[in-house]
Amino acid sequence: MTSLLGADTLRIIRVLETEHHAMRNPHTSREQTLDRVHRLAAADMPALLAITADKIVAFGSVLRRAARADDPDTFWQARGPFREQMPYFRTFTTAAAPLLPLTMAAELTGLLTAADRACQTTDSLSRPGLSQIRAVPTLR
């Protein structure tokens, strides 16, 4: 595979795979995430950029699908695993944004904010007695 894809491509794929495992692991602590981001920035900035690009594409995709959904509340309620990963995404963004190119940091932060707002609204809608106001994420 190395001869087909190249060593750098395989290295970044492995880093992306490790990142996806960390995102899904409920035992990944805030400190572990902060440490991983800072280590990547120091040792392998192209990998950090790839991980960030992956999150930007994923957030953009889920927000576009939510915007097109007939019932955005139902759409977000069905995304329990995504909503459960929001603390991880917030920690990653907090750690990575100062280390990224400004436009990439702004894109990541804006998409995270829109997704976070939608998830928090959906979570509040599922609790009895809370406001039934629905936030619609804005997309560029």
135 pLDDT more than 50: no
What is the mean predicted confidence (pLDDT) over 103-132?
77
| pLDDT of amino acid 124 | 64
Question: Residue 70 falls within a domain, yes or no?
Answer: yes
| Residues near 70 by beta carbon (within 8 Å), at least 6 away in sequence | none
58-91 per-position pLDDT tens digit? 999 999 999 999 998 899 999 999 999 999 999 9
The pLDDT > 70 percentage for the chain reads 85
Rounded to whole angstroms, how far apart are CA atoms 14 and 107?
A: 24
| pLDDT of amino acid 31 | 95
Range of the domain at 105: 2-125
Question: Residue 139 falls within a domain, yes or no?
Answer: no
State how many domains the chain has.
1
Amino acid at site 119: C
Question: Residue 45 falls within a domain, yes or no?
Answer: yes
| pLDDT of amino acid 6 | 81
Tell me the C-alpha to C-alpha distance, in Å, between residue 32 and each of 44, 50, 95: 17, 19, 11
Given the structure tokens 């953009």, which residue do they identify? 60
Question: Residue 94 falls within a domain, yes or no?
Answer: yes
CA 43 from chain center: how many Å?
22
| pLDDT of amino acid 125 | 57
CA atoms 56, 60, 126, 131: torsion sign: positive
Given the structure tokens 């990547």, which residue do they identify? 40
Burial of 44 (0-12, 13-18, 19+ CB in 10 A): middle
Question: Residue 137 falls within a domain, yes or no?
Answer: no
Question: Residue 136 falls within a domain, yes or no?
Answer: no
More confident call, 118 vs 108: 108
Question: Residue 111 falls within a domain, yes or no?
Answer: yes
More confident call, 39 vs 140: 39
121 pLDDT more than 80: no
Name the band, by pLDDT with cuts 50, 70 and 90, for residue 136. very low
The pLDDT > 90 percentage for the chain reads 70
Rounded to whole angstroms, how far apart are CA atoms 8 and 20?
A: 18
Nearest to 113 by CA among 97, 129, 132: 97
| pLDDT of amino acid 26 | 84
